[in-house]
A and B are shown apart, each in its own frame.
Chain A
Amino acid sequence: MSASEWFETIKYIIGWALRGSRRYYLAAFGLLLLAVYGLYLWIFMQHAPIFLGSDKGGLILTAMSDSVPWGIYISFFVFWVGVAAAGIVFAIAAYVFNDKEFKKIAVLGEVQAIAALIIVLLLIVVDMGRPIRALFLMPRLPNLRSMLDWDFIVITGYLLINIIGMLVTVHYYRKDKPLPAKFIVPFMVIAAPFAIGIHTVTAFISQALTARPIWNSPLLAPRYVATAFASGPALLLIALYLAERYIEGFKVSIDVYRKTLYISVIATVVGLYFTLSEVQEIFWYTTEPSKLAQAKELFLGLHVPYLAVLMWLWVGLGSAAVIASLIPSTHNNKKAIVAISALIVVAVIAEKTFTIIIPAFIPSTLGEVRPYYPTPIEYGITVGVHALGLLIYLLLSKPAIKAVMTHYFKHGHEH
């Protein structure tokens, strides 16, 4: 395999990413606009004090404080790590269980992981006070006891793996060749542990801290992984549905939808079960006062009502999705399956953003209750980061699906 052929592949990806209907351009342009606006806000906020020495600007424009040192960025960071981790589900179904239908869409899982990981990395960057310094210092002065370093390693590692996975898939499929086994086997052996690893390590960042009683439970990592496998596949189904709708000639059997939904629903059930277990541990008899206080903030929202709203939204929507998925008639209807997926995605966003991060800080280690409501700038930057991630999702899924179609949908019909 020569280098020029790989160069052709990259050209192929860029070519297809930039080709599309008016609607495609419109969507891409809108996302780009949001992303640029977010970037502008970030430069204004983060770099004014550092590079211009100005006393305007700075992270002081966020609602974070010494009591609540992490906010909306880290909240969504946790959610997207989960989405990225679940990208592997399609690949497992395709290559481990050798399911032909899943082979058509495994690459979509990789694309989703790439987009999610870019969101993840950007969210860390915008959260950091001195990101440029970090770029130089993290590799030079690693602290192997710091979970943040490990998280960085596994996240960039997993990103790399997914980029390779996508490139190779496009490379072979565009020439109508099957993926070679000598690629698939090592790929799966490396990628699967990494997928679990990114989320486990992300949970390890917080769960071993005695300073934060509500995190300080070995259930945190399993809970992260469980809801990751609920939201990730659900999001993939939505993307898949949109792809079927907007890309002519791209059709996937309802089997794929059904099986993916099973995974997602089972993971949701496990997640709900973990929540139940946590509630019992905290509320049934007695518990450490500060943990109880934080749990009350989370479930009753004494000072930050939105936490309780989100937590109960998770319980409510999660249960609703599970119940809806039990109705037999939903199983033969793509639209119904996608609707259930959407429910699950919303439920997991409710469970895995603010509700994970914020209660650990309210009340703080010294008992201070300082409610946290993100400022417009924080929302703006978060939206910008997400826009960029979704743009990447959009641009990469196009060539990926085109390549898949070359291999699996010759002359407009399946073979």
Chain B
Amino acid sequence: MIVVPKGSLHNLSRSVDRKRRDLLKAIAVGASVAGISGVLVVDRDKLAKNLKRVSLEDLLRSTAEAESPMEERAKKKEAELKKRYSAEAENICREKGEDSEECKLARKKVELITVKATAPRKGVKYAMALDINKCIGCRRCVYACVMENNQGRNLGIEWIRVLEISREESLELLGSNWYYEEIPKKDKVYVPIACMHCEDPPCVMVCPVKATYKEPDGIVVIDYDVCIGCRYCAVACPYGARRFNWAKPVVPIQELNPNMHILGNIPRQPHVIEKCTWCIQRVRDGGVPACVEVCPVGARVFGDLNDPESPIRRIAEEYGLFVLKPETGAKPKFFYFFGPARTPPSKGER
């Protein structure tokens, strides 16, 4: 919960501008997503509703945020990254020539680098669900995630694992295989797994320096400047969600995603842990995670559990939500469901 300090009104005008920009961006993203996934149906009325939700309170909050230490740190990081990557860009320009495409792209990327520290929205509780009947195991979410979240290319880090499990078995992960090559196979189901953003996350309980914690909007984040690389959280996570930077991670500038959040996809340091953040850099600005956007069969649904209109609520009501390994007691906020292909939705009763 963000508490607005007294006397923070003085630079309200600046933040109003910024907020407006963000909002327009958010709407654009929202609209495009609706087109792609086909799960969200966005019309004018709904958009109007979205517009209404930004209250004075929100604006005040973002003012406070502008002064928060997190914001300060983000600014510093941004400057650092710009410096680091412009050196790389200059190298490219020297090699390929000043007016080569590569040089222009690299310079453009450097310019675009922004590190945000967007705070959680009030009263929001995110959740994601995945339709096991739809998923074809194509791993496009895995690749989109790598690109979106600046995962160390040299280390082969992938936040999402897609497990191939035989249909004959129960959802027992022991016999699973994530190195499969052919898809889709009739006798297999595909179960993508990433951080479940648990309600009672064991990873958070065990961290000796509180480097990883749960934000009010339900996203479990890692502060890469605090993590001491003990990997206790990786040991405690029941869903194998955490990836360690076993060496210095490298993301070449050509592949860098310049839209960054300090608790999310900002390039990591060596020897810190990382994991899925539900694309914090997108969702806190009103967007949806990259995996939801990219999934070619629309198997993923993301939304606010507290909002009765959100797609996730509709899924919950119509199909029911299931969690993996409930016996661990971590209470995941990533759900699975069995969509229309096999379990027809209940009609009429509701």
Contacts and interface: CB of A to CB of B under 8 A. Distances in A.
Main secondary structure of the interface of B (DSSP, over half): loop
Interface in A22-70: 46, 49-50, 53-60, 62, 64-67, 69-70
Interface string B190-220: 0001000000001001111111000000000
Contacts of A130: 227-229, 271-272
Contacts of A309: none
Contact of A133 (B175, B228, B244, B250): B228
A147 B330 CA distance: 18
B228 A128 contact: yes
Given A69-B244, A130-B227, A130-B228, A289 B172 contact: yes
B313 interface: no
**A129, A206, A360 pick with most chain B CB within 10 angstroms:** A129
A365 B248 contact: no
A391 B161 CA distance: 46
Contact of B174 (A60, A127, A146, A293): A293
Contact of B228 (A49, A62, A138, A206): A138
A149 B330 CA distance: 21
B246 A58 contact: yes
Contacts of A70: 231, 235
A129 B206 contact: no
Interface stretch (A96-104, A208-216, A271-279): A208-216
**A138, A146, A205 pick with most chain B CB within 10 angstroms:** A146
A138 B246 contact: no
A366 B229 contact: no
Contacts of B173: 290, 365-367
A69 B228 contact: no
A363 B248 contact: no
Interface in B167-183: 172-176, 178
A411 interface: no
Contacts of B175: 367
B236 A55 contact: no
A211 B176 contact: no
B329 interface: yes
Interface string B313-348: 000000000000001111000000000000000000
A222 to B, nearest CB: 21
B270 A211 contact: no
A152 interface: yes
B271 A148 contact: no
Nearest to B228: A134
Given A143-B210, A210-B329, A366 B172 contact: no
A30 to B, nearest CB: 32
Interface in B237-271: 237-240, 242-248, 250, 269-271
B154 interface: yes
A415 interface: no
A67 B202 CA distance: 17
A65 B330 CA distance: 23
B226 interface: yes
A330 interface: no
Given A66-B242, A365-B238, A129 B271 contact: yes
B234 interface: yes
Contact of B270 (A58, A145, A206): A58
Main secondary structure of the interface of A (DSSP, over half): loop
A366 B161 contact: yes
A60 B155 contact: yes
B80 to A, nearest CB: 12
B168 to A, nearest CB: 14
A398 B195 CA distance: 54
Interface string A340-362: 00000000000000000000110
A49 B229 contact: no
Given A146-B205, A209-B236, A60 B330 contact: no
A8 to B, nearest CB: 40
A129 B272 contact: yes
A327 interface: no
Nearest to A58: B247
Contact of B208 (A62, A146, A368): A146
Contacts of A181: none
A12 B50 CA distance: 78
A49 B271 contact: yes
B89 interface: no
Given A53-B248, A146-B207, A367-B173, A66 B240 contact: yes
A50 B245 CA distance: 12
A137 B244 CA distance: 19
Nearest to B231: A69
Contacts of A289: 172, 174
B325 to A, nearest CB: 8
5 contacts: A49-B248, A57-B247, A70-B231, A129-B270, A364-B240
Given A66-B242, A130-B271, A206-B235, 11 more contacts: A50-B271, A59-B229, A66-B244, A129-B229, A134-B208, A142-B209, A148-B206, A210-B238, A365-B239, A366-B193, A367-B173
